Chains A and B, each alone.
Chain A
């Protein structure tokens, strides 16, 4: 489904992804974890085609095609979905009509006629019910005035209606209360299917109690430094990331970023735990 090979990506001249390799076969759910600023959202955005990210080298294939050569709207129509970490508010653009336009764009791409208005609304209502969303949100502007958690649910709602082939959910669990987390996880689980893949970016192992991943990867400083099964998430929960932190930072930057004790602890962890 998705194959990323030795991907290097720079933002404003600074390399953020530094040789990232990852494969997500069809039907699998992969979780990506990693410290703040390690490049998780950068990866998600590059996959969705956001401008401003310079792919320095490497390849990404999606369903056998070169993903990076496609404009963002075409990626979406071919079944790529990004659930944003920070969904943007678009006042004046109606939530439900955006959804309909998105569905119709994908249908047109596949040579299908526009969706029937009544059937569409029925479907959206059903999915909203699943997401425990208030129907009044349909008539509001996209994410306009939504709470943090409501925005995340709205992202999942869009995903459920669009039924993508590959969904990358960037911290969709952050900012959700405990009940909402279950609702969202339940929604995501309904999408699990042999022909569909999911990539979950998360900081919390808790999400993975509800959406059990096939693989867990750890992204540190722009690279996957460790991969494993779901038990890796438990281990991370217990041990943190220190044992996985890669190359030492330059002495100057380290001095600026950490106090001496923390720096030596990282050093020690690196020696002990760095994967080959």
Chain B
């Protein structure tokens, strides 16, 4: 990544900084973020965790935030029982702030909840998380969520719509989520495009789960085929907190996600199930670090990736067990399906253990469609096209079956069917 690019980044920041809202991120922190980023440099494909990322899109994009878009029509229907906030190009466009019975949801811009600085340092500590600094420097709005125990089984949907083309500026979705002791939340986070512009989206998400807190989080990335979508998520789990993250990435030309989970309290638990499907020239790249920092913490990591056409799908799942994390249990199952002669799959399970008394199992396999399964379906009269799509879909079953909201599951099945087939009847073939 060239010095010229960093110089342009600085210039663009200098030109817009006066207009960036302090309520979202304070001026001093923005400046610090830019300086740190310039010192570290933008990510480059020669770095291990960016190897499969398509970073060229940054060269053609404007870093400064795009001008606020008009309202967007044709949004998908909200999920039943989920209050929804809609952000267009990173700025709140629709939906009322929520404040009742222990659930508070605001836009960051409204300043109803003061931004705190601890997140910036934590995110920046990880070199893979550098793009969060870019978000920090330029963010124009975002969502702040706080859940207290009184909220019961709280639910919320955050919808981020990318609209502007990258030449006019990027969008910076930002979420601060804090769940207090013993509280629970189901969060649906979706990223879509309005139209088919080549937008640049660079999101940052921070999650804090207090003791015994519980988060069920669905993330769907379905931006347009020309979009570039970057994302940095960081979560810290206190004692006995439970985090279930189900992430599905199907959209964008270039998608890269960095997820850093810190199991900071004893008994904390993360179950991460991710699926990525890439077709044509798409790149889908995910880096997940699960850091066991306390005894009896648990990680379950499941990844299913399908690469067709000339797509590249990568998943790098690292599990680090620190000195005092005795009794850690981690399981990892990474599987890739190569569905085209020019497609690429790269799965990298990594284990870093600094203590005894741990149980870690991992497996990673990448292969083609099973010939025996394929022939079985053909021998029953199914079209080869249908048989292949069916097997691809069945391959994602391990992840899709984890979606416990029927409405969301249907919606995702629909999305997948749409991406993999024009045949509505295909859906019937699956459980």
Residues of A that sit less than 8 Å from B by CB: 48-52, 71-73, 75-77, 81-82, 84, 87-88, 90-94, 97-102, 105-106, 109, 139, 141-142, 158, 162
Q: Which of B379, B393, B425 contacts A72 (CB 8 A)?
A: B379
Q: Are B397 and A98 in contact (CB under 8 A)?
A: no
Q: Are A49 and B379 in contact (CB under 8 A)?
A: yes
B386 at the interface (CB under 8 A from A): yes
Q: Are B376 and A101 in contact (CB under 8 A)?
A: no
Q: Are A93 and B430 in contact (CB under 8 A)?
A: yes
Q: Are B390 and A102 in contact (CB under 8 A)?
A: no
A88 with B372, Cβ < 8 A, contacts A98-B377, A141-B431, A158-B380 known = yes
Within 8 A of A (CB), among B365-381: 370-373, 375-381
Q: Are A76 and B380 in contact (CB under 8 A)?
A: yes
Q: Which residue of A lies closest to B395 (CB)?
A: A92
CA distance A73 to B377 in the complex (A): 8
CA distance A158 to B376 in the complex (A): 12
Q: Are A84 and B428 in contact (CB under 8 A)?
A: no
Q: Which of B371, B381, B390 contacts A105 (CB 8 A)?
A: B381
B383 at the interface (CB under 8 A from A): yes
Q: Which B residues are in CB contact (< 8 Å) with A142? A: 376
Q: Which residue of B lies closest to A76 (CB)?
A: B381
Q: Are A51 and B371 in contact (CB under 8 A)?
A: yes
A-B interface, 4 closest residue pairs, ranked by CB to CB distance from nearest:
A92-B394, A92-B397, A105-B381, A76-B381
Q: Which of B379, B386, B394 contacts A101 (CB 8 A)?
A: B386
CA distance A180 to B375 in the complex (A): 27
Q: Which residue of B lies closest to A107 (CB)?
A: B381
Q: Are A97 and B383 in contact (CB under 8 A)?
A: no
24 A-B residue pairings within 8 Å (CB atoms) = A50-B375, A51-B371, A73-B378, A73-B381, A73-B384, A76-B379, A77-B381, A81-B379, A90-B373, A90-B394, A91-B397, A93-B390, A93-B394, A94-B429, A94-B431, A97-B430, A98-B377, A98-B382, A99-B380, A101-B380, A101-B429, A105-B383, A109-B381, A162-B380
Q: Are B394 and A48 in contact (CB under 8 A)?
A: no
CA distance A178 to B399 in the complex (A): 40
Nearest-CB distance from B204 to chain A (Å)? 34
B391 at the interface (CB under 8 A from A): yes
CA distance A67 to B112 in the complex (A): 74
Q: Are B430 and A100 in contact (CB under 8 A)?
A: no
Highest count of chain A CB atoms <10 Å: which of B375, B379, B391, B431: B379
Q: Which B residues are in CB contact (< 8 Å) with A97? A: 428-430
Nearest-CB distance from B394 to chain A (Å)? 3
Highest count of chain B CB atoms <10 Å: which of A75, A90, A93, A139: A93
Nearest-CB distance from A201 to chain B (Å)? 15
CA distance A94 to B430 in the complex (A): 5
Q: Which A residues are in CB contact (< 8 Å) with B429? A: 93-94, 97-98, 101
Q: Are B382 and A101 in contact (CB under 8 A)?
A: yes
CA distance A71 to B370 in the complex (A): 18
Q: Which A residues are in CB contact (< 8 Å) with B376? A: 84, 87-88, 90, 142
Within 8 A of A (CB), among B387-431: 387, 390-391, 393-398, 425, 428-431
Q: Which B residues are in CB contact (< 8 Å) with A99? A: 380
A102 with B430, Cβ < 8 A, contacts A88-B372, A93-B391 known = no
Q: Are B381 and A100 in contact (CB under 8 A)?
A: no
CA distance A75 to B387 in the complex (A): 15
Nearest-CB distance from A63 to chain B (Å)? 16
Nearest-CB distance from B13 to chain A (Å)? 48
Q: Which A residues are in CB contact (< 8 Å) with B373? A: 88, 90
Q: Are A91 and B394 in contact (CB under 8 A)?
A: yes
Q: Which B residues are in CB contact (< 8 Å) with A91? A: 394, 397
Q: Which residue of A lies closest to B431 (CB)?
A: A94
Q: Are A102 and B382 in contact (CB under 8 A)?
A: yes
Q: Which residue of A lies closest to B393 (CB)?
A: A92
CA distance A139 to B429 in the complex (A): 11
